[in-house]
A and B are shown apart, each in its own frame.
Chain A
Amino acid sequence: MSNTITGAEALMRSLEHEGVDTLFGYPGGAIMPTYDALYDHKDTLHHILVRHEQGAVHAAQGYARVSGRVGTAIVTSGPGAMNTITGIADAMMDSTPVVVICGQVGAAMLGTDAFQEVDVIGVTQPITKWAYQIRRPEDIAWAVSRAFFIARSGRPGPVVLDFTKNAQTGMVDYQPARVDFIRSYDPVPVPTDDTIRRAAMMINQSVKPLVLVGQGVELAGAHEELKALLEKAQMPAGCTLLGLSALPTDHPLNMGMLGMHGNLAPNVMTNQCDLLIAIGMRFDDRVTGNIDTYARQAKIIHFDIDPSEINKNVKCTLSVVGDCKDTLRRVTELVDAATHKAWIDGFAPYKEKENHKVVEPAIHPKEGDLRMGEVVRRVSELTENKAVLVTDVGQNQMFGCKYFQYTLPHSVITSGGCGTMGFGIPAAIGACFGAPDRTVCMFAGDGGLQMTLQEFGTIMEYGVPVKMILLNNNFLGNVRQWQYMFFNRRYSFTPMTNPDFCQVASAYGIPSRTVTRREELDEAIREMIATPGAFLLQCGVMEEDNVLPMTPPGSNVDEMLLEIN
């Protein structure tokens, strides 16, 4: 029996074959044949019409990060494709598996500056794991399967498929394809037993080991393997921003967050340990501070799936290149049970110091304006520390990530490598679709909220049950803090005149409430949680609050400021 169908229909079947159930997208001329085919697949391919293509990719990212599956976005050529760039770059930096399908002019018109033609492959090649132009309907099944395989395997990342119009309208005898091998691409290297033995030996010989937990643990689903290693050898750990929910916050060996705005103890101890065990993290400069003085006293073992991360920023003593779900398990078998009591006890004074000087005043202030920290902590507690945290970028992000508490994996969705303002709302929408059973709490500042505010329309149309907490300080707070600290308090274009956000929400039918008084906070949060569907909780917070502690840029990792003079 002949199976001759259009390329657009072949794309639909290929997506279904990959198990795709949700698409975030926006139509336009060059992708119209595909949207026409989609009309007949509405039951299987649930399409969410976003309000801007940047939102489509961020939503796909949120979907991917919360579910561990590949997120999919679909947009038109030219301007539609260009609006996805921020999201694609963000996904590249944060190793998020997404496939972005863009319409493109017909192959015969390529290179002629045709209407809405942009060299999408040329533009996206440097910010994708793979970018491919489908010019013939015969290539669709193969290209789609290859795209999803590349996006999800090894170190995940974004893939762009640039889909010419003639490939959408042309006819093809469709046969499903399954790509799970590419000879030039070895997604999961396997380290030798000798490497594993050496890693175990270094751990067994260490008196003061410190583990750095990155998003790689989340991506590998190696939560249990990590815990098993930590607990057997009793090693303290710190988490990167994206690795925060790889280990429950209240785990006794979790010493907190690493990096510029992380916790004092793990940062200070980085320069005191004798062995640093980095797992699925890439020694970003926001984590290391001054690289020349970073952990110089320590031996370093680097577990990562990506060989090009090894010795990129920090030279390691031993690299274990592979899937950490496998490598951690193998190493744990050879590791001796240990206690490291004195070493672990050494973290406590730093923790107490930070608690006293920074944390307590931030989450339990006695007087004055509402603070971001207390709002975040109460939202976390009143959702039983089980919600998914999504943040925008800025102070809201740092307070959000630090003071939220995590008990479940895949619970922190934030733009790490790129720091993309406007990420919050659309990523939270995606997270709601990726984890319909979980409560999704999104924190944003008044700046970032307005960068993708139009997605209120998407929330309205699809009844997306996202709980949005606006931490409104009437400033581009994070930049203001830097101006305060490093630019003589010259607030160059950081104060902002804002609209009535609750009125905006109400225009979209989203219930909202404003809270400025501490006494009302709990009740307001409860109202937000109890209200079915979306909610905007606007918190009028202290205008000139500062995120602390802080390692000023270029300073050593153990030189954290607990207060600003």
Chain B
Amino acid sequence: MENTKYQAVECGDCNTCGKCFNKVQDGTLYTILIYSENQAGILNQITAVFTRRQVNIESLNVCASSTPGVHKYTITCFCQEEMAKMLTKQIEKKIDVLQARYYTTDQIFTIEVALVKISTPVMLQDQRVNLIIRDLGARIVEVNPTYAIVEKKGRTEEILQLYERLNAVGAVLQFVRSGHIAVTKSTVEQLDRYLERRQQNR
């Protein structure tokens, strides 16, 4: 499912309709987890690897990790496995990058959050709006006479479906997705292992 291509919404060609979120992409969706020292300019260096290799970043999330002083990057992209391998090696080559690994969707727990700002008048007029929200397990987190805010956690397909359907009834004012965040399913913490090994080699 998520391991295959995203379904294109709207016309399937962003260059024509201007509304599509996803072109139909070749390859598999890989999630690349990267850990780096907390130094300035690393995000630039990481994204430059994708640019040089002509791989589009689907989503990107950066935040502090559970290890003090270490930042975690969650990046998803569609590509062949060979490319995912090459990308991780070239990223890992950057001096202040501790580790980069690629995963298919079945090797990780991954989730995405989206917010849809919708028009309250439309919501009140058109019963389908509430149905859609309930149907897709989203929730309304804020309402005022002008707009309501709908929050949805889940897989990208569900999120896109929510947007799609709300948009079809003319309710959407704004839409945003957080990008994927992910943790591995492995019972081994690769980063900790790496740091221990490096400490021993010191």
Contacts and interface: CB of A to CB of B under 8 A. Distances in A.
Interface of A: 121-122, 125-126, 129-131, 150, 181-186, 306-308, 310-312
A126 B48 contact: yes
B93 A306 contact: yes
A18 to B, nearest CB: 18
B86 interface: yes
Given A121-B41, A125-B41, A308-B92, A184 B199 contact: no
Given A122-B44, A184-B37, A308-B92, 15 more contacts: A125-B45, A131-B41, A150-B95, A182-B95, A183-B98, A183-B195, A183-B199, A184-B96, A185-B95, A186-B198, A306-B93, A307-B89, A308-B86, A308-B89, A312-B86
A201 to B, nearest CB: 25
B7 interface: no
A5 to B, nearest CB: 27
B92 A129 contact: no
B97 interface: yes
A125 B85 CA distance: 22
Given A306-B93, A308-B90, A312-B86, A184 B45 contact: no
Contacts of B202: 181, 183
Contacts of A182: 95-96
Nearest to B35: A184
Nearest to B202: A181
Contacts of A122: 44
A224 to B, nearest CB: 27
Contacts of A121: 41
Contacts of A129: 95
15 contacts: A125-B45, A125-B48, A126-B48, A126-B52, A130-B95, A183-B195, A183-B198, A184-B96, A184-B98, A185-B96, A186-B198, A307-B89, A307-B93, A308-B93, A312-B86
B36 A184 contact: yes
A125 B44 contact: yes
B198 to A, nearest CB: 5
Interface centre among B44, B85, B93 (most CB of A within 10 A): B93
Contacts of B86: 308, 311-312
Contacts of B85: 311
A561 B48 CA distance: 39
A186 B201 CA distance: 10
Contacts of A308: 86, 89-90, 92-93
Interface string B92-118: 110111100000000000000000000
Nearest to B98: A184
Contacts of B45: 125-126
Interface in B181-202: 195, 198-199, 201-202
Nearest to B36: A184
Contacts of A181: 202
The 10 closest A-B pairs by CB, nearest first: A308-B89, A184-B98, A183-B198, A308-B93, A130-B95, A185-B95, A308-B90, A184-B96, A181-B202, A184-B37
A150 B94 CA distance: 11
Contacts of A183: 98, 195, 198-199, 202
Interface in B18-40: 36-37
